[in-house]
């Protein structure tokens, strides 16, 4: 479920009905409220910082060291040599390329399919509950369980999908294996995208659609001129989280190909460096580089959000 955390983070941009009480300048009550507020957030903040901020800072130190678990006596600060090693390695660039390809293709297709699914869920007149329930299964299923299903389905001589495709072994060729991984990702994440978009879709006023229809707009015109612009915030939020989520793809690749035949993602590469090469220095360097990539992606999206960015000034409005 690590793949689904972000859904709700868009929340702060919302306007709840509740209004915050006007605060008198630091009366006793306001002071007590401040104290209580800080007290209540303390445990959450401590855990979140302990698990992220501290390890990241530690990883920065580790990335500047030569530190191989097999050679514990040979730990030495070597500056940016690890970065030079990783950035001049074809493994890193291949993994980055594979990750970007998987992310771009799977997120684009998921967006289109998610939009179709949202339309189906929105317009469906009967069995709506059933369709929603069933489409939640791919979202909820353990990625590893689904990945095994795909793996066996594509195993020649064993799987129903392999049988359909003349029993060649797609998981052993780079391009085909990446295609299989992308299919697995799309299957898993389309329902989530669909539900987020459905929420945005339900905000599009029906009257506007009707008025446009009366004015003679075609279904496609109504979709592109009314639905899409009104859904832009929902789409951007869904895209941001799907993109970041897809960029850290690990489970599907680990089970389907274990990163063989040039299908390693940046995450599986980082994992291999730690647990197979036992190289803490290089592993940490990869961690930091992934962190930087994610920061870049997030920045690009948040610039795209403009004022609608989650966590921006909307928070103080209510």
Partner 1 sequence: MAVITPRQRTGWGTANLVVIALALLPVFWLVSLSFKTPAAILDPSLWPAQWTWGNYSGILRSSQFLRPLVNSIGIGIISTIIAVLFASMAAYAVARLAFPGKRVLVGLALLIAMFPQIALVTPMFTIERSLGLFNTWFGLIIPYVAFGLPLGIYTLSAFFREIPWELEKAAKMDGATPFQAFIRVIAPLAAPGMVTTAILVFLICWSDFLLAISFTSTISSRTAPAAMEYFSGGSVFTVPTGPIAAAAVVITIPIIIFVLFFQRRIVAGLTSGAVKG
Binder of partner 1 out of 74, 157, 215, 307 (CB under 8 A): 157
How many CB atoms lie under 10 A from the CB of residue 233? Answer: 17
Binder of partner 1 out of 96, 115, 182, 244 (CB under 8 A): 244
For the record, the structure tokens of 251 come out as: 């489970």
For the record, the structure tokens of 10 come out as: 């868009």
Residue 134 engages partner 1 in binding (rule: CB under 8 A): yes
| CA gap 317, 308 in Å, rounded | 13
HSE toward the beta carbon, residue 183, CA cutoff 13 A = 16
| CA gap 124, 129 in Å, rounded | 10
Stretch that binds partner 1, among 100-108, 169-177, 219-227, 244-252 (CB under 8 A): 244-252
Q: How many residues bind partner 1 (CB under 8 A)?
A: 125
Stretch that binds partner 1, among 70-78, 81-89, 215-223, 269-277 (CB under 8 A): 269-277
Q: Which 158-177 residues touch partner 1, going by CB under 8 A? A: 158-160, 162-163
Stretch that binds partner 1, among 70-78, 87-95, 169-177, 198-206 (CB under 8 A): 198-206
Binder of partner 1 out of 171, 200, 256, 264 (CB under 8 A): 200
List the one residue out of 286, 255, 257 whose CA is nearest residue 270: 286
HSE toward the beta carbon, residue 151, CA cutoff 13 A = 14
Binder of partner 1 out of 27, 79, 315, 317 (CB under 8 A): 315
| CA gap 62, 65 in Å, rounded | 5
Residue 81 engages partner 1 in binding (rule: CB under 8 A): no
Q: Which 7-46 residues touch partner 1, going by CB under 8 A? A: 7-21, 23, 30, 32-34, 36-38, 40-41, 43-45
Binder of partner 1 out of 196, 204, 256, 264 (CB under 8 A): 196
How many CB atoms lie under 10 A from the CB of residue 280? Answer: 21
CB of 311 to partner 1, least distance (A): 5
- What phi and psi values does residue 65 have, to the nearest 5 degrees? -115, 150
Residue 120 engages partner 1 in binding (rule: CB under 8 A): yes
For the record, the structure tokens of 154 come out as: 């594509």
């Amino acid at each position: 479920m690590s793949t689904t955390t972000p859904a709700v983070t868009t929340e702060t941009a919302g306007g709840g009905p509740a209004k915050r009480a006007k605060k008198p300048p630091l009366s006793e009550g306001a002071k007590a409220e401040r104290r209580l507020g800080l007290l209540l957030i303390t445990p959450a903040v401590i855990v979140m910082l302990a698990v992220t901020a501290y390890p990241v800072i530690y990883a920065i130190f580790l990335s500047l060291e030569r530190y191989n678990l097999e050679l514990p006596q040979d730990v030495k600060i070597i500056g940016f040599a690890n970065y030079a090693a990783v950035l001049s390695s074809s493994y890193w660039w291949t993994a980055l390329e594979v990750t970007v390809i998987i992310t771009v293709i799977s997120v684009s297709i998921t967006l289109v399919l998610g939009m179709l699914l949202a339309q189906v869920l929105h317009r469906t007149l009967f069995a709506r509950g059933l369709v929603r329930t069933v489409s939640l299964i791919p979202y909820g299923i353990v990625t590893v369980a689904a990945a095994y299903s795909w793996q066996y389905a594509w195993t020649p001589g064993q799987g129903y999908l392999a049988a359909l495709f003349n029993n060649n072994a797609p998981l052993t060729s780079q391009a085909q294996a990446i295609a299989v991984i992308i299919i697995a990702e799309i299957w898993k994440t389309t329902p989530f995208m669909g539900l987020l978009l459905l929420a945005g879709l339900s905000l599009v006023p029906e009257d506007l659609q009707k008025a446009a229809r009366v004015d003679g707009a075609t279904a496609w015109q109504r979709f592109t001129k009314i639905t899409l612009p009104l859904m832009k915030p929902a789409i951007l939020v869904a895209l941001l989280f799907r993109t970041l989520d897809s960029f850290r793809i690990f489970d599907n690749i680990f089970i389907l190909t274990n990163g063989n035949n040039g299908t390693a993602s940046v995450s599986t590469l980082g994992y291999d460096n730690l647990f197979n090469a036992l190289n803490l220095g290089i592993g940490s360097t990869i961690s930091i580089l992934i962190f930087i990539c994610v920061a870049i992606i997030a920045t690009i999206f948040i610039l795209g959000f403009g004022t609608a960015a989650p966590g921006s000034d909307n928070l103080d409005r209510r």
